[in-house]
Amino acid sequence: MRIVILTGAGISAESGLGTFRDKDGLWTRYDLSEVATPQGFARNPALVHAFYNARRANALDAAPNAAHRALARLQGARAGVTLVTQNVDDLHERGGAREVIHMHGQITRALCAACDHRWEAPRVMGRDDACPACGERMTRPDIVWFGEYPYHMDRIAEALAACDLFVAIGTSGEVYPAAGFVEEAAGFGAETLEINLEPSAPGRFDRVITGPATRSVPAWVAEVLGG
Ligand code: APR
């Protein structure tokens, strides 16, 4: 059985990393147009770097939780599991997952706006950090901002077209193109499952498992692996 799993901020919530749209979510405290758009970065790169330096420190200081580890167990136990994440933290990798597809980029990586070179980000980064490849001082976080095209969309489209089961974990399903993956997979005949605190959109998925990810994801993985 080929499975595509899409995770969102909810899978890292119990590791202490905030979500975006829940009560006290990031976008209730920051104006995303200022810190998560190319225009915001052009207007005030120092503000944007300060925002991501704080999120990077939180992500680096956080630990993967039982949900991250359960998905790594699933990947290790059976072939045909594609793990796509909207998250920019590296908790899936530190939880043991392999080949994680980061469609919104990674907060642990830096990107040169002049030559597109990418490298491991320092804990604290600024726009004037010189690019190791071209030397230009136009460094930005390797994050896909609103209005920019997500990464790895070809690979994701291929996996959605071939999967038997699509699972969305801890995502509100508010941001496209990720929000459309459930319909895309269903259109190719896949079963669809949502694992969330509560249903994000009743009727959108064939099956919904509710509850905190650190409980519901290991339970679901045990069900798939037969115990
Ligand atoms: N266990 C399971 N689900 C949880 C938990 C938890 N402990 N805590 C929160 N959730 C769920 C919420 O119910 C909600 O559906 O996680 C989801 C968080 O939704 P958002 O904050 O919108 O995060 P996400 O869906 O990942 O946002 C998608 O939006 O701002 C952009 O680029 C950003 O990647 C992000 C994208």
pLDDT score, position 227 = 75
Whether the model clears a pTM of 0.95, i.e. scores above it, the answer is yes
C-alpha to C-alpha distance for 113 and 103, rounded to whole angstroms: 18
The full set of domain ranges for the chain reads: 1-15+64-104+150-227
Paired tokens of 121: 């980000």
- Mean per-residue pLDDT of the chain: 97
| Mutate which of 86, 145, 214 for ligand 1 pocket (most atoms within 8 A of beta carbon) | 86
* Mean per-residue pLDDT, 60-69: 98
- Distant-in-sequence, close-in-space partners of 195: CB < 8 Å, separation ≥ 6: 167, 168, 169, 170, 208, 209, 210, 213, 216, 217, 220
Residue 13, marked binder: yes
**Statement: residue 216 has pLDDT above 90:** yes
Atom of ligand 1 nearest to the CA of 14: 7
User: Between the CA of residue 116 and those of 105, 142, 199, what are the distances in Å?
Assistant: 13, 10, 39
* ipTM greater than cut 0.90: yes
20 C-alpha to center of ligand 1: Å? 6
- CATH class in words for 1-15+64-104+150-227: alpha beta
pLDDT score, position 17 = 97
120 DSSP β-pair partners = 109
176 C-alpha to center of ligand 1: Å? 13
Name which of 29, 82, 69, 79 is nearest 51 in CA terms. 29
